[in-house]
């Protein structure tokens, strides 16, 4: 069983490296880590954390964040965001970026791929026959290598792709048997997956027109959250749009983004 000192050590490490606040998640931490420790012959949490602390870029540090992060997502999640994207944002960007035909879109907590693939399908549909003339590839990042591996494989159960329009299921997914469907290469080629820690300095060479940062800041304290929001703001094009989770909110007095409607914000043009 996790002791107080062991729990505090894990909480402090995860907060310092990933910005995630686990201080109220003792049951979750114990329940998720203990089976891994038992399977791998650790004498206790301290022995495991010593390995993590000795090599923060090593395999056990990666295992720690893979095990402790929650990755709940699904296709078409918070569909009102995609409707707004199609009706308001993309028509604006089609004019705004007409010169370069290059639209920067970032799915910043991409999990197992449902969000960036949904974005890619909407983009393909919106631009239609002209899509091949535009670069609308979605950058999709996550801290967890486990979920990124799932996303790159692009294999989903029949029930998982159920929310998608029938024409998208036929066009973008291949039935591979056993009630499973794999994303076709046409769809996969529209998403670039990378492992990235949102607490790290942003390495991006260009600014974004659209950022989906949904359902991740609920794990951050306010100081961490608004530091991240400021970094996102700095790496967005003027007039760019930020989408956060429907249950999340931002205090407009603590940031530069303009409030558009619940969970949608915009950088001034």
Verify that 30 and 114 share a domain, yes or no.
no
Tell me which of 68, 95, 116 is where a domain ends.
Answer: 68
Q: What is the pLDDT of residue 1?
A: 81
Statement to judge: residues 58 and 94 lie in one domain: no
CATH number at residue 139: 3.40.50.150
Q: Which domain holds residue 22?
A: 4-68
| 40 lies in the same domain as 94 | no
For residue 73, being part of any structural domain is answered with no
Per-run averaged pLDDT (10 residues), the chain, 269 residues? 91 92 90 91 93 91 86 86 98 97 97 96 97 97 94 96 96 96 98 96 96 92 95 98 94 96 96
* Residue 177, pLDDT score: 95
How high is the pLDDT of residue 27?
A: 92
Residues 113 and 151 in one domain: yes
DSSP state of 257: P
| Domain-located, residue 197 | yes
Q: What is the pLDDT of residue 88?
A: 98
Supply the pLDDT for residue 157.
95
E strands in 188-251 = 191-195, 208-213, 236-244
Confidence (pLDDT) at 57: 85
CA dihedral (259, 262, 265, 268) positive or negative: negative
Question: Do both 46 and 147 map to the same domain?
Answer: no
Between CA 54 and CA 194, with CA 227 as vertex, the angle to 5 degrees is 60
* Domains of the chain: total: 2
Based on the fold, state whether residues 61 and 91 are members of the same structural domain: no
CB atoms within 10 A of CB 46: 12
- Residue-level pLDDT at 218: 87
Where a domain ends, among 68, 93, 118? 68
220 in Cβ contact with 228 (< 8 Å): yes
């Amino acid at each position: 069983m996790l002791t107080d000192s062991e729990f505090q050590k894990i909480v402090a490490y995860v907060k310092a490296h990933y910005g995630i606040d686990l201080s109220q998640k003792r049951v979750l931490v114990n329940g998720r880590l203990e089976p891994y420790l038992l399977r791998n012959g650790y004498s206790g949490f301290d022995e495991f954390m010593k390995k993590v602390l000795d090599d923060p870029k090593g395999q056990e540090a990666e295992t720690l964040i893979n095990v402790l992060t929650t990755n709940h997502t699904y296709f078409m999640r918070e569909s009102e965001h995609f409707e707004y994207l199609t009706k308001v944002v993309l028509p604006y960007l089609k004019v705004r970026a007409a010169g370069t035909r290059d639209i920067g879109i970032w799915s910043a907590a991409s999990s197992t791929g449902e969000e960036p693939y949904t974005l890619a399908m909407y983009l393909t549909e919106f631009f239609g026959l002209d899509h091949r003339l535009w670069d609308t590839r979605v950058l999709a990042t996550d801290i967890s290598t486990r979920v990124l591996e799932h996303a790159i494989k692009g294999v989903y159960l029949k029930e998982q792709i159920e929310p998608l329009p029938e024409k998208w299921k036929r066009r973008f997914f291949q039935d591979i048997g056993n009630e499973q469907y794999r994303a076709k290469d046409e769809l996969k080629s529209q998403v670039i997956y990378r492992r990235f820690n949102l607490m790290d300095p942003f390495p991006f060479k260009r600014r974004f027109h659209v950022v989906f940062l949904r359902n991740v800041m609920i794990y951050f304290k306010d100081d961490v959250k608004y530091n991240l929001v400021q970094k996102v703001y700095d790496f967005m094009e003027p007039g760019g749009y930020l989408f956060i989770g429907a249950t999340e909110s931002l205090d407009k007095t603590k940031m530069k983004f303009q409030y558009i409607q619940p969970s949608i914000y915009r950088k001034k043009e």
